[in-house]
Structure 1
Amino acid sequence: MSETGLYCYAITRGLDPAALEGSAGIAGAPLRLVEHGGLEAVVSEVDLAEFGEEGLRRNLEDLGWLESVATTHDAVARLASEQVPTAPLRLATVFLGADSVRARLGEWHDAASRALDRIEGRGEWSVKAYVDVDAQETPAAEQEPAEEMGAGRAYLLKRRAATQRREASAQAGAELAEEIHAALAGGTVLSRRLAPQDRRLTGHTGEMVLNGTYLVDASGVAAFKDLVARLASEHPRVRLEVGGPWPPYTFASLDPQ
């Protein structure tokens, strides 16, 4: 018989166990709560041959396995966060049993309580800004008729103009991103700029110049969306993409180390 452990998805406070009924975690295992000190850990059983130290070392190199686990992890965190304040944990946080979970809840108690206080009644929203790096006016040097210069000079001028165009676009994009982020941050509780995502990996069009995340009061969501719409209308060169609410990974996640 395989040895099992407990996969821990998130820490919550005040979650009714009935809210987990009918929902499953990794490999379809039932979800349950382990409670200690007024906090609950949302857990499910996993096979330690797969989620133990050796198994994880092997499986974390398998992108298909990783995607499946990450998707389930996020779904469980989202389920809990729709009910009560929830601090999602790092992917593949695994314990040997309920006593180990309780011991760690004791160690995390103060930090987790502060995190849950911080995000209670609030949601995490994302705003991504994209610009078309090719939508720049052609510099005058590039517009000079090729027949009035030698082929070599024309080629060098074209290369220089392309470089200038990229640099101007990058600078303009950075300035716009800073302006938009400052406006959004001013209307939210907390904010953070994350690294832009590579379009070769995500498939999005345009260059991402802002990857921002914002903690928004539930009562302020409509105003936040209105602000995003206003900023989009004020900056037609920029395409703004708003998403959420998400489980508060940015503002309430705990490092299990």
Structure 2
Amino acid sequence: MLYAYAVTDDPGPEGGAPLPRSGILPELGVERIRESGVAVIASPVPAGLLDAEAIAERINDPEWARERVLAHQAVVTALLGTAAVLPLKFGTLFSGTAALRATIETRRTALAEALDQVRGAREWGVQLFVRQPPQAAPHAAAGRAGPGAGAAFFQRKREARAAEQAAAAALDRLAADSHARLARRARAAVMNRPQPAAVHRRPGEMVLNGAYLVAEQDEAAWREDLAALEREAPETGADYALTGPWAPYNFTGGALGAGAGGGVGSG
């Protein structure tokens, strides 16, 4: 069985840059498997040690999952800067070398195109937080309720609902405009689902969770686009947070189409 970390350019017979000594588990080595112009970085795994059932059984153990995810990321990170890298999802497994080679062959064109896209570029993340405007206090009814009190109550509710919808639309426009301006100089860009407050733990609401694949020669200009948005932030109540650079997880083109145990093939 093979646990796969990433797809890279084929370094040729010379073998390329040295690989990390340990993989998803400390006792597992890391090797390159070359096929059809690409190389897959993988660890041979004894049957039953880290198969799909073992991962499914232990993934709910936070400490185990954290250590394994960090180990997976460490291998991917070690590859960055040495070749174009398509990181694979945590838990990408193949039943053996034959199954892996067959999968590479069926996805040869897509893998080549994805590697071309990420070559010489890095992924950056931008999150946009907006502080919530203070909620208007409900109007107190003056004096006793008169014949028109019911109509006035429902009118206030309609006005409050319209104000909420207008505020939500304004946030959507701010997020869309920010994303469009940041995507302008990127090779590719995606808007991921905003994180809830329990995850991001920052003041305000996250309205943009964007990922941007930026060519290294364009990073200075792209960072200036972000700086321009930040200069406008006091007017919009926005707070931009830059993260990265990261391995291009958002731009793998599906890579080998495997993850979380779903990539186990036959062969």
What TM-score do the two structures reach when normalised by structure 2?
0.80
- Cα distance, 1:51 vs structure 2: 2.1
Q: 70-79 or 228-237, which moves further after superposition?
A: 70-79
Distance 2:239 2:204 in 1: 9
**What does residue range 126-205 of structure 1 map to in structure 2 within 5 Å?**
126-133=125-132, 135-136=133-134, 139=136, 142=137, 148=142, 166-205=164-203
Distance 1:178 1:72 in 2: 35
Contact 1:59 1:65 in 2 (8 A): yes
Residues 32-86 of structure 1 deviation map (CA, whole Å, 9 limit, x = unaligned): 1111122111111334324223223312333333322222222222221321111
Asked whether 1:207 is paired with 2:205, we answer yes
3-state SS of 2:33 partner: strand
Distance 1:19 1:193 in 2: 33
3-state SS of 1:12 partner: strand
- Cα distance, 1:23 vs structure 2: 3.8
Contact 2:52 2:93 in 1 (8 A): no
Q: 225-234 or 60-69, which moves further after superposition?
A: 60-69
Runs ≥4 in structure 1, deviation > 4 angstroms?
A: 15-18, 146-151, 159-168
Asked whether 1:9 is paired with 2:8, we answer no
Letter in 1 for 2:107: W
Distance 2:45 2:241 in 1: 36
Label 1:127 to 1:172 Cα distance change in 2 as closer, same or farther (>3 A): same
Residues 133-171 of structure 1 deviation map (CA, whole Å, 9 limit, x = unaligned): 1x34x54xx386x594579x8xx79x9587666544433
- Cα distance, 1:238 vs structure 2: 0.5
Label 1:150 to 1:222 Cα distance change in 2 as closer, same or farther (>3 A): farther
3-state SS of 1:230 partner: helix
Task: Give aligned pairs, total.
Answer: 248
Residues 74-124 of structure 1 deviation map (CA, whole Å, 9 limit, x = unaligned): 222222132111111122111233333223222222111111011111111
Contact 2:19 2:79 in 1 (8 A): no
Distance 1:248 1:240 in 2: 20
Letter in 2 for 1:82: G
Partner of 1:106: 105
3-state SS of 1:61 partner: coil
Letter in 2 for 1:121: G
- Cα distance, 1:216 vs structure 2: 0.7
Distance 1:75 1:85 in 2: 16
3-state SS of 2:107 partner: helix
Contact 2:85 2:247 in 1 (8 A): yes
Distance 1:21 1:186 in 2: 35
Label 1:44 to 1:164 Cα distance change in 2 as closer, same or farther (>3 A): same
Q: Which sections of structure 1, spanning at least 5 residues, go unmatched?
A: none
**What does residue range 1-257 of structure 1 map to in structure 2 within 5 Å?**
5-15=1-11, 17=15, 19-28=17-26, 29-133=28-132, 135-136=133-134, 139=136, 142=137, 148=142, 166-236=164-234, 237-252=237-252, 253-254=254-255, 255-256=257-258
Q: 18-27 or 228-237, which moves further after superposition?
A: 18-27
Contact 2:19 2:78 in 1 (8 A): no
RMSD: 3.0
Q: Which sections of structure 2, spanning at least 5 residues, go unmatched?
A: none
What TM-score do the two structures reach when normalised by structure 1?
0.83
